[in-house]
Amino acid sequence: MISILSKYFQDLQQDMVHWRRLFHQYPEPAWCEFGTATYVAQSLKEWGFKVYMGQELIADKRMNLPTQENLDTFYYQASERLDLDKTLLEKTKGGYTAVAGVLEIGDAPVKVFRVDMDALPINESQSAEHLPFVKKFASAHDGYMHACGHDAHTAIGLGLAKYLSEHKEKLAGKIILMFQPAEEGLGGMAAVVKHPLFKNIDEAYGFHVWANRMPSEFICGTFGQLASKKFDVQITGKASHAALAPEKGINALLPAAEIILSLEKLKAQFPSHIRLNIGQVQAGTARNIICPEAHLKIETRAGDTITRDELYTTAIETIETISKKHACPCEINLVGEAESAASSKDLAQRVYHIVKGTEIFSNCIESELHNTYSEDYCTLMNHVQKSGGKAVFMGIGASNEAGTHHQTDFDINEEQMWKMAGILAELCISKS
């Protein structure tokens, strides 16, 4: 076992468990990660990192922003906490919750490590078999929980940061730790990737803890994540009395219903690896009123970015044609997108040799197809690879036989955190 793993991170495990449970107790959804981002920023600052955060780190339009009410609610909750630096918290106000920490020892190589921080709109289980509930670190924010492991990711990122701050003599070049908001919904990375900080990256690393994979497993490089575009549609009709003067109204439900059926038929025109889903429809105000508005939340996914764009364009044309036929104006807003990507083979091979050398994982997988989900990190992967750098997306098995991802009883094997942090540390000091 390599020395980094055998001693330092095992000793740090208690701190990492504390951080993970703290983040788990205060889950914050996309663009509302005020408390999480502030805690990360103040830790990085204390450990000697140059910290970028708030509006100075946002380089492009933020997609899928929450309502002002949600922004205000989560900011107020963070402001009530006694463990947060209020000056740093102020920089996140308005939903500017990205944080990056930089250690610059030399000019090259430049390595970036992506960590996601956001939670999900899910009520957490209160079962006697659910460890966070039993140990009293379950969500304190009704309707929200960490059900995908981003709390553990953030704790792993802090563990890596603490190690790097205490072992600068082992480093060369520049290390960037990117704590990303809004991974869920696929809008966070696009907002920061054009920042000059990410202009000339030699190596990019992303990772995920997988509650549906055994602790003996480590995936060194993935490929095939689905490219996706997520968008909202608002159809505007005209209200009128349904009995007295129905002819004076324009029913927005009619184009909405036709759009749903037409998009279902549209899927047959594309390859089998596409996904098109109308996940939410809201329409109407009362049974005796001609429906004045309809709102649809839709996503498209495909095995490659080109097919994704073709599917999205055709779907938009279909929606606009149907809305026009029913004399209903429609507004379409893109609220999230991700690309398809593939890990750089030689970088995945280096990860494989490092992980294999630890002798911790009995099932070390060099490359694996992941074509059942989308990942915001793919935007950074492609950005780095297109400019001549290399990138990988890794996975560590973290099953503890609790619920799998995006479920109310989600939980992980916390023992895996020190192992992942140790692998990342070795990647920081290993030579290209």
**What is the number of structural domains in the chain?**
2
Would you state the pLDDT for residue 185? 87
161 in the same domain as 42: yes
69 in the same domain as 197: yes
Would you state the pLDDT for residue 409? 95
373 in the same domain as 355: yes
270 in the same domain as 156: no
Would you state the pLDDT for residue 344? 97
Full residue range of the structural domain in which residue 201 is found? 3-225+341-429
pLDDT, one tens digit per residue, over 214-263 is: 999 999 999 999 999 999 999 999 999 999 999 999 999 999 999 999 99
Q: Which of 313, 338, 363 is the last residue of a domain?
A: 338
268 in the same domain as 128: no
Q: How far apart are CA 247 and CA 57, in angstroms?
A: 53
CB neighbour list of residue 87: distance below 8 Å, 6 or more residues apart: none
Which pTM does this prediction carry?
0.93
Would you state the pLDDT for residue 108? 87
Query: Which CATH number does the domain housing residue 289 bear?
Result: 3.30.70.360
330 in the same domain as 390: no
Would you state the pLDDT for residue 316? 98
240 in the same domain as 123: no
Asked if 205 and 153 touch (Cβ cutoff 8 Å), the reply is no
SS3 333: strand
Would you state the pLDDT for residue 430? 75
Extract the residue ranges of the chain whose pLDDT is less than 70.
Answer: 1-5, 432
232 in the same domain as 193: no
Would you state the pLDDT for residue 3? 62
Q: What's phi and psi for 227, nearest 5 deg? A: -70, 145
355 in the same domain as 296: no
Would you state the pLDDT for residue 2? 59
Query: Which CATH number does the domain housing residue 11 bear?
Result: 3.40.630.10
